[in-house]
Structure 1
Amino acid sequence: MLQQTIRQHSALFIQRYSSTILMLGSMMLFAYPDSYAQKLSTPYNPEPLKQAMIAEFALQYQQPATALHNYTVLAIHTNSTAAKQRALDIALDENDLYAALDIASQWVTQDPTDVPALFYLAHITLKTHKYEMTAATLDKILNIDPDADLAEILAGIAPDDPKDRQILLNALRQSKARYNPSILVLIASLEAQNGELESALKNIQKALRKRPNVTSFILLKANLLEASNNQAATLEWYAKSSKKHRDNLEVHLAEAKYLIKIGQPEQALNKFEHIIRTWPNADEPIFIAGLTSIDLKHYDQAEQFLLQLKNSSQYQNDAYYYLAINAERKQHYETAKTYYRLVDGSLYTVSRRNLVNIYEKEDKLGDALRFLTQERVNYPQHASFLYQLQADILVKTAQKKAAVELLDEAIHNLPDDPDLIYAQVLLLDPYQDRERLDKDLNQLLNIEPNSPTYLNAYAYTLALQNRRLNDARKYVEHALEYAPDQSSILDTFGFIAFLQNDFKAAIPALTQAFEANHNINTGVRLAKALYLQGSTKRFNSLLQQLLHQFPNDPQVIQLKNLLLAAPHKTSLVHHATIH
């Protein structure tokens, strides 16, 4: 057994570091330029493999600065492309952009014609807002490779600030390569973000004259036409492009998706059917055709499409999920349950909730409980969710005590799961279970001390109990730091301030909360605060609103009675916890 364990650890070690060893094996053959050695305070280690291993161990032990330093030394003192890329990857992972800029600059200095290095440099200079350097680097790339695709450089990092965007635009417009199709597309993309759609369309058209078959150029023009709210021109461009580029799946797909977007699902479905005949093995059009068929209530056709994806590596779970939805729409509940049971991955939780809803429609929640118990055996990774779902069922069937006991079992099995603890907190009685609530809420704050949900829960519980109000206020004020506009937290803050007779703080908070949630309890608290403050006009106006919205609610009737009797203001505070 011990030998087996040693072998397993050795295998993991070899797997983890073999790529590093292979990467650095070639470094021993290269010379180390002295001109760069002086730039780093740590002396260069002449054993690249050892230095790389130290760096990898540092990463393993969450010491990225040490790893980055070691790989930076290797990047500068060797001609190994792998070492330079590793150093850059670490710098970018750590968001150390200036370290990345230094590494990429040195790489380009060592090899001015290395296109990957130039791509890195262009990307990093863009992220660090060195736009003139970006434009100069793009010039160099296009001098080496006039057909280089530059689209990825801007992906996800185009400047959000209008001033930065304009600086980059000016730099690109003055670039020597400004008439290169790739540069024209970059300019058009930035102009589109600036709202300069007419100029952007002219530039993308210039790019298309030189490179008419580039898919990204074709789709960018379509997007620009759509952004211009020119539906007729967009449809015409898609139709023309689809006809011209008969073998381009992306163009045909984009056209069909646009038809759905503008509310023409029947035309889109016809388009998808044509695409599927031409590309029978393309999963995406089959999947979207299935969803479109469901929306059009073509349920049998939807089933035919989605069944084709039951072995798809990408769409299998989605297909099972929508096959279940399709069967449920047809009221074929047993079929729907069968498909829901097959769903895994990101749709697991929603599929099981839908499955429980079917059991509820059939008045078979007992069967649902048994099913979920077996699910906890089959899917232990979802145990927390499944326990909570079972507790919900027990509450629905008036078995609250059993729900609390089930959550006790769950918390015993998963003691540090905040979702389970919070689910139990919601079921405990704030008066009868005071000690238990304190224990659970303190545990939640130990696990996630800055969670606005848990801070608010503790504050609200203390408010309901009308005790430790100073602590409650601290908790809710801390929660507001993270969620300043959340109505439930504002309601709690207003409630606590009301209990403290701080009407100056309570009324604005409760007003904002009631405008957002229109909740009867919030409205009643606000009305009481206004009454006690003496804001008779606002009280009467709010009372009329509450009478209109909740005419038979006992709390509103109690407020109405205040107008018929002399005010006993202190008694209102004592009864503030009435809901």
Structure 2
Amino acid sequence: MRQSLQLVLTLAFSWILVSCQTSPVGPVPESAAKPLPRQAAAPRLTLDTPIPTGVPAAGTPELTEDIVFNLLAGEVAAQRGALDEAYAHQFQAALLSGDATAAERATRLALHLNKGELAVKAAGLWVELAPEDLTARQLLVVLMLRQDENAPVLDHLKTIVRISEGKDENGFLNVMAAINRELKRESAMGLMRRLVLEFPGDPRGGYAMAIAALVDKDYTAAEQEADRLVAAHPDWPKGYLVLSRVYLSQDDKPKARGLLADAVRRFPADPFLLSAYARLLVDAKELQPAYEQFLRLEEIESEGGDASYWLGLIALELGEDEAARGHFLRLLDLDKQTDVAAYYLGRIAEKREQSRQAVQWYQRVDGGEYLAEAQVRSVRLMAAMGETREAFDWLQRMRIQYPDQAARYYLIEVELLREHGTPAQVMALFDTAIGALPESNELLYARGLYAATQKRVDILERDLLRVIANDPKHADALNALGYTLADQTARHQEALDYIQRALALKPDSAAILDSMGWVLFRLGRNQEAIGYLRQAYDKLPDAEIAAHLGEVLWVTGEQQQAREIWQGILDKTPQSEHVLEVMRRLEI
């Protein structure tokens, strides 16, 4: 029967397309209606037309003229925008045929009409015709709750749990997702508690309630639900896991760690507990204990690669390169996180001065967050081995193979040429790249920054103004232009305007705060400058910001503070050019 109805619906759509082409508006021509099988002229159905209730008795009827007529008439009405009539015909077709698809169509038409009672009626029929359809059940519950939050939905919720279990899903989470959108939090939790009582031996209900409270950031309720869950089901590992998440959400890492440590002792083979506990140890910088926990997890995981990934990273931090290599090779064997594994295998080979192997590993990285760095390292190694021409040829092949990433490959080539070419060659390459990709903000911005290093403020200004014209909210271009004008020209007031615009877009940027301090210093507003430079240095205590802050402090008489700031940088980086240059210039 279902296949026959589907065929009718398919034919209906074809017939509608033909009829719409010949008569886009108005009634269907009599000639178009004649081929439809009907026993008698059927009345025009509307939302006010009484419709019989109930589903056909056992033994679904064969495809009849009335069923065909209602299906086609419903589709024609929907095409014309007469949705009330379309609903009535689809509902009638569902009643006559016992077809759930027609009931679903009627439900969605009622939803579109915003007719809640009719939607409940159609969804109820849909559920009767397809009692195992999870979507139908969930939608019926939602519609009933929209009509009345005290609607008798508990039996439907119990059925959702049962159907979900057959799909290997947590039905309580499906229930919570359905009712949480329609009820106030207290009502939703009350209804969930009634449902949980229907399944006293199932801990997943309490788990769903704890998760829901956690998502709502009601940490007090989440902790209460999780405590209740652990007390009622002390042998269920996930209870401890959700309770630890509650602690972590409240930034109580010691409590979470203590709970997970006890749970891991109780459930030494539970992978979720092991992973959560090991990650907390990593966060606490206790790498050796974390490594041991991930080793246990790796033994349990037969196909997963999460443990091997973490083991490789931790082994690198511990200086155990050979062990790290083994873990990353295992990731490749498992076909898990292969780009990450190849990248780190390249790093290990590079550290061992096995340049050829490193290049081979780096060139196996074809996606992910390490792609750009792997490619840069690859071409640098090739150039260091005397294969500069091969490196450039490889980059050219990549541009041809991946034209949508051409700008990135040009920038890698620029970096290589900066190390192995002349400034004139670098600028020539930039000209070629921008000639090929004239609207690339990335290339224009990069050429502008490089021009600043060559004291070509004219090129910088030209390129960055083009970037800003393309993207007025490009804070980095505004900042770079403003800083360079402040640092290399006397156009300080103009520079201030650009930096103010950049700071409005990125008020927490240490680089832009540094630029603001520097331009204010150039304008003679030293105390204001110190305020901005201190903010920048607190956020990012790097050498360039330290050089600026120290210089302003020095010229305002705070020379001891300036020395302390500079010395702090030199203790870490004795050859810091930024700090040494300003000290030479001030004859310190």
* Short-chain TM bin: 0.5 to 0.7
Task: Name the CA distance, whole Å, in 1 between partners of 2:11 and 2:515.
Answer: 59
Structure 2 equivalent of residue 268 of structure 1: 293
Structure 1 residues 200 and 427: CA distance shift in structure 2, 3 A? same
**CA shift in 2, pair 1:72/1:491, >3 Å:** farther
* Equivalent position to 1:479, from 502, 517, 539: 502
CA contact (8 A) 1:309 1:316 kept: yes
Residues 308-327 of structure 1 mapped to structure 2, 5 A cutoff: 310=332, 315-327=337-349
Deviation at 1:450, TM superposition (A): 0.4
Q: Distance in 2 between matches of 1:305 and 1:379?
A: 31
Question: Is the contact made by 1:104 and 1:120 (CA closer than 8 Å) also made in structure 2?
Answer: no
Unaligned runs of 5+ in 2: 1-8, 17-35, 37-43, 50-71, 92-101, 128-132, 165-170, 282-286, 571-578
Residue 462 of structure 1 aligns to a residue whose secondary structure is: helix
Provide the C-alpha distance between the structure 2 equivalents of 1:203 and 1:438, rounded to a whole number of angstroms. Answer: 65
What whole-Å deviation, never above 9, does each CA across 1:19-47 have from its counterpart, x for those lacking one? xx969959999x986269xxxxxxxx977
- Residue 145 of structure 1 is matched in structure 2 by 160
Q: Deviations for 1:394-445, whole angstroms, at most 9, x for unmatched residues? A: 2234622211211111111122111111110111148863443332112101
Which whole-Å CA distance do the structure 2 matches of 1:176 and 1:440 have between them?
66
The answer as to whether partners of 1:375 and 1:386 remain within 8 angstroms in 2 is yes
What code does the residue aligned with 1:110 have? A
Q: 1:288 to 1:50 in 2, by over 3 A?
A: farther
Deviation by residue 1:432-471 (Cα, 9 ceiling, x = unmatched): 6344333211210122210111111222233235355444
Q: Which residue of 2 aligns with 1:177?
A: 195
Contact 2:219 2:246 (C-alpha < 8 Å) held by counterparts: no
For the residue of structure 2 that corresponds to 1:416, the secondary structure is: coil
For 1:172, the aligned partner's letter is M
How much has 1:323 moved relative to structure 2? 3.2
Distance 1:27 1:465, change over 3 A: farther
The residue aligned with 1:252 is: 271
- Residue deviations 1:104-143 (CA, integer Å, cap 9, x gap): 99744531457525646889999xxx9x95x979856424
1:336 aligned partner = 358
Counterpart residue type for residue 343 of structure 1: V
The RMSD of aligned alpha carbons is 5.3
Percent identity between matched residues is: 19
Residue of 207, 211, 227 corresponding to 1:202: 227
Paired with 2:510 and 2:10, the residues of 1 have a C-alpha distance of 57
Contact 1:218–1:241 under 8 Å retained in 2? no
Alignment of 1:204-283 (within 5 A): 204-205=229-230, 208=233, 219-220=241-242, 223=245, 229=255, 231=257, 233-241=259-267, 251-252=270-271, 254-256=273-275, 258-259=277-278, 261-262=280-281, 263=287, 264-276=289-301, 279=302, 281-282=303-304
In 2, Cα distance between equivalents of 1:144 and 1:27: 39
From the CA coordinates, give the structure whose radius of gyration is larger. 2
State the SS of the aligned residue for 2:450: coil
Task: Report the Cα distance in structure 2 between the residues aligned to 1:457 and 1:444, rounded to whole angstroms.
Answer: 11
Which residue number corresponds to residue 472 of structure 2? 449
Name the SS of the counterpart of 1:229 in structure 2.
helix
Distance 1:120 1:380 in 2: 46
Q: Deviations over 1:339-375 (max 9, x none)?
A: 2111112132122133245447657666544443343
Partner of 1:491: 514
How many residues are treated as equivalent by the alignment?
481
Aligned to 1:176, the other structure's residue is in SS state: helix
**TM-score, reference length from structure 1:** 0.64
Structure 1 range deviating more: 395-404 or 424-433: 424-433
Once residues 360 and 134 of structure 2 are traced to their aligned partners in structure 1, the CA distance between those partners, rounded to angstroms, is 53
1:299–1:330: 8 Å Cα contact kept in structure 2? Answer: no
AA at the equivalent of 2:582:
Q
CA contact (8 A) 2:84 2:113 kept: no
Residues 118 and 328 of structure 1, relative CA distance in 2, 3 Å threshold: farther
Amino acid at match of 1:448: D
Offset at residue 260 of structure 1 (A): 5.5
Residue correspondence of structure 1 range 456-535 to structure 2 within 5 A: 456-466=479-489, 469-502=492-525, 505-518=528-541, 522=545
Task: Indicate the residue corresponding to 1:403 in structure 2.
Answer: 426
> What is the TM-score normalised by the length of structure 2?
0.63
Matches of 2:460 and 2:244 in 1, distance apart? 58
1:350 to 362, 365, 373: 373
Mapped contact 1:260–1:268 kept (Cα < 8 A) = no
State the match for 2:135 in structure 1: 116
Deviation of 1:491 after TM superposition, in Å, equals 2.5
> Does structure 1 residue 188 correspond to structure 2 residue 201?
no
How far the C-alpha of 1:335 sits from its partner, in A, is 1.8
Which residue of structure 2 aligns with residue 375 of structure 1? 398
